[in-house]
């Protein structure tokens, strides 16, 4: 499991700091899914992000990154939905940015889910 590899990596402390911060920031309805390649975080509305250690940093993949206004200019990638975020040190700026990206993702998910309910009822 990647979770065990992350815990045994040279960036284990950074992994645990960010993991704890994510779980606290997402709130009480959050859950963590540990899979073979990543550790993912969800709220009741849907997927938020995944984390994984790399040689010199921690990578966060924001599942709805394409829909996040990147006011911190930290996201990268050109996939259909996911945007990456590299963290080498979890300082105050990074904490502020991660909290912002979480809040933006949850807002997007709530709006997206409500629109889907309306469409299902035939309201556009």
Instruction: Provide the pLDDT for residue 124.
Output: 62
**pLDDT per position as a tens digit, 82-115:** 999 999 999 999 999 999 999 999 999 999 999 8
Q: How many CB atoms lie within 10 A of CB 11?
A: 20
Show the tokens assigned to 35.
């899979």
**pLDDT per position as a tens digit, 32-43:** 999 999 999 999
Give pTM, 2 decimals: 0.93
* Helices marked H in 1-91: 2-7, 12-26
The answer to whether residues 68 and 105 touch, using CB atoms and an 8 Å cutoff, is yes
Reply yes or no on whether the pLDDT at 120 is more than 90: no
Show the tokens assigned to 122.
């035939």
Reply yes or no on whether the pLDDT at 60 is more than 90: yes
Dist CA 107 CA 87 (whole Å): 23
Q: Which CATH architecture has domain 2-120?
A: 2-Layer Sandwich (3.30)
The answer to whether residues 39 and 6 touch, using CB atoms and an 8 Å cutoff, is yes
């Amino acid at each position: 499991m990647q979770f065990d590899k992350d815990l045994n990596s040279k960036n284990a402390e950074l992994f645990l700091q960010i993991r704890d911060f994510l779980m606290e920031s997402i709130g009480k309805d959050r859950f963590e899914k540990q899979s073979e390649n990543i550790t993912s975080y969800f709220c009741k509305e849907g997927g938020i992000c995944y984390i994984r250690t790399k040689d010199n940093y921690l990578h966060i993949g924001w599942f709805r990154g394409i829909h996040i206004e990147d006011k911190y200019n930290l996201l990268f990638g050109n996939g259909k939905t996911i945007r990456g975020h590299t963290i080498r040190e979890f300082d105050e700026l990074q904490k502020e940015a991660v909290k912002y990206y979480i809040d933006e993702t949850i807002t997007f998910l709530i709006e997206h889910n409500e629109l889907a309910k309306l469409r299902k009822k035939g309201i556009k």
